[in-house]
Structure 1
């Protein structure tokens, strides 16, 4: 690879800004080591962004950088491009982590909660029913007013989208309340050593 002088790079930048694809690709090739370095540094897990996709993202970053670059009096092009590549990588990494968190939340499906609570296969006797009712009352007394509303809606089979409208709350607040309810009920209904 032949490294460009400052004057050659400035000329190439101006030509690429004018829409010349060959100049654009030559400039992109010049910065390919930097692009590959950031790909390794960001260490995208589970190949959600493969190398070709990353390079395509960096081509868009180069295009935007060229359009915004105001010449050497404003700073070095390489520094500006490196900063933009790094920031784009961080954005993609945040999206990847957000998708992973969302996926983890989706895995905790509400209808799968019965699996976490061990219910005996035989019919409980009167004493077991009394103990169960006392535990349920105990949990419900620990719920906040909002959690109690959310729990009633869940027990009535209302879906989450409709619940956010009925309770006038965000999806995130609703999911957090459901998660807190689930934790409280699971903790209280776990069999103790006496059961």
Structure 2
């Protein structure tokens, strides 16, 4: 029975390699729990279930295209290794982006803007609804500390824009943007010190 299942799977793999979408979908459905399992282990900012499944499909497509049954590895293990590598690459890319804008990478404002993912992450790592309510209140207070110009600079800066790019977008001198970033940092530090 197991041998017959193996042959059926190999047939589906061969068909999927040659563009049979029905075979691909059948196989992907069978191995999609791997995507869900890895999703539960790692956090990718801004990724929802559909994004994870899309990444999974892309990686599974490449897995099928490169699969060789003579290598003595199952499709499942090969896909799991490939998908985990892809997720690690995405995390490395995200961390590189965070290093570029490390001034605000852990700011409360970021948690407010990306509310759902950060709420889930914060609540699983740091507590419950009470802590989340305090965090939201602190975010709102920090944001109200900023002038309109500082708030605009902050949003662009946190999105990864350089001071030169921000100055161009806002039609002002880079020095004005750098001063605003410095004021944002000072206000952030003041807000944190008041809450301790």
Normalising by structure 1, we get a TM-score of 0.51
Distance 1:111 1:28, change over 3 A: same
Q: Structure 2: any 5+ residue segments left out of the alignment?
A: 104-156, 164-176, 187-196
Q: What residue is the counterpart of 1:33 in the other structure?
A: 33
Q: For 1:10 and 1:114, locate their aligned partners in 2 and report how far apart those are by CA, in whole Å.
A: 60
1:108-187 to structure 2, matched below 5 A, reads: 110-112=178-180, 115=183
Question: CA RMSD, aligned part only?
Answer: 2.7
**8 Å CA contact retained: 2:32, 2:56:** no
Report deviation, 1:95: 1.7
User: Which structure 1 residue ranges, 4+ long, deviate > 4 Å from structure 2?
Assistant: none
Report deviation, 1:101: 2.6
Report deviation, 1:117: 11
Q: For 1:84 and 1:32, locate their aligned partners in 2 and report how far apart those are by CA, in whole Å.
A: 13
Q: Structure 1: any 5+ residue segments left out of the alignment?
A: 119-195
Q: Give the number of the structure whose residues are more often helix, by fraction.
A: 2
Q: For 1:86 and 1:52, locate their aligned partners in 2 and report how far apart those are by CA, in whole Å.
A: 17
Report deviation, 1:100: 2.5
Distance 1:114 1:103, change over 3 A: closer
Greater gyration radius: 1
Report deviation, 1:116: 8.4
Number of residue pairs the alignment of both structures matches: 113
Q: For 2:88 and 2:185, locate their aligned partners in 1 and report how far apart those are by CA, in whole Å.
A: 40
Q: For 1:85 and 1:100, locate their aligned partners in 2 and report how far apart those are by CA, in whole Å.
A: 22
